Amino acid sequence: MAETPHPRSILRGHGAQVHALAFVRNNSRLASGDAVGFVVLWDLTTLRPTVVWRPHENAILGIQGWGEDCIITHGRDHKLAVWKISSENEAGLSRALPLDSNAPPRPQPWLLHLIEVNTMNFCTFASCPPLESTAQSSEPELLVAVPNTLASESIDIFHLPSQTRRDTVKSPGTNGMVMALALLHAYDRLTLVAGYENGVAAVMQLSSDSSSDNGIWTVTYKAKAHSEPILSLDVAPDHSYFLTSAADAIVAKHPVLTASAAQTSAPASSATATAHDYPIKVTNTKHAGQQGLRLRDDGRIFATGGWDAMVRVYSSKTLKEVAVLKWHQVGCYAVAFANILSSSASSAPLPGASAEKEGPGQDVGPRTGELSVKDRRIQHAKTAHWLAAGSKDGKISLWDVF
């Protein structure tokens, strides 16, 4: 009988359901957000909090790192915020966990940007950098997609750092509210992937250069693989396909089509704006309510959090279940993978770990491979194949089994 996997560690400190997770700063930190608006930055070397604050007055919908020292938070208080938190200024912020009801007021990190957005959909934001820089300054730029402020079936695209709305993308048909989003550049076009309340998934591409204002959006793919609202989606690292999970038990694999491919596959009498296609693969997992779907950055596996408290890992190629991770006793809402490809640079020897010699017989550092305990912990934290899962119980399980 195969050995039952166990989590490497359990992070305790949230007093409410954990809704969002993200590995940031080259896997040295895990950011977690809960149902009452708290965010915790966990040091994966010590497995202790380094920063705790409450960026929103309502549930956290999404968290994402941006560059080396910025974190984006999206709350149900109709706000999307960008915070600057470098490792150097962590010491000046609070480490008192949300469970500590007697903690003094927690200072806020430096707020760089704040955008008023619609959060009635429970749909978190999606983002990607623009293809070409358009700002006059040297600041990094980002495009952010969120449900439209007035029409929850449409999608707004904002630009940072200008905080201006660049475009509004209408729903391809009557599909209900937007439930999940991805924003990316596929085939040199700005591409929007959306999952809707009626189970439809769609791909829309901007049919003009880069991210110009009010461009023409063409529907390149549209299919209904689910009978219930889509809960989550994620796009493959090579941008060739995306995966969806829903309130039903279906997991579906869809193509990311170009406009020319959609025209080729559509009937001669139909416009590309109403293109319909079929998923690449659909599987009935027999487990309803899988959400927080995330692909690992090598594209080999993906994971979901289940209403039944299970974290399931699947093969991206076959959609077959390869592992069930059981520790939580109540539903899991969020999962996150560490970035194992980008962390390869972190596996290089740390400073002071080489056997350099200043003179004959005089070592100025430990021999190769003789890392200190602290350095070994840092190296493991950055290179481990972490899978994190956040649950309704307020706890986060950390797994290192793949």
pLDDT tens readout for residues 320-335 = 999 999 999 999 999 9
Query: Stretch 110-115: mean pLDDT, rounded?
Result: 96
Q: Give 212 or 314, the one with higher predicted confidence.
A: 314
The model's pLDDT over 2-26, given as tens digits with 9 standing for 90+, comes to: 567 899 999 999 999 999 999 999 9
Describe the strand order of the beta sheet including 250-255 as a list of residue ranges.
Answer: 230-235, 241-246, 250-255, 281-284
Q: Which domains does the chain have, with CATH numbers?
A: 1-116+334-344+365-396 (no CATH), 125-284 (2.130.10.10)
Of residues 380 and 392, the one with the higher pLDDT is: 392
What are 58-72's pLDDT values in tens digits?
999 999 999 989 999
- Higher-confidence position of 46 and 139: 46
Q: Is the pLDDT of residue 353 over 50?
A: no
Inform me whether the pLDDT recorded for 211 exceeds 70.
no
**Candidate from 11-25, 269-283, 357-371 with smallest mean pLDDT:** 357-371
pLDDT band per the 50, 70, 90 thresholds, residue 259:
low
- Using a pLDDT cut of 70, give the percent of the chain over it: 82
- pTM to 2 decimal places: 0.86
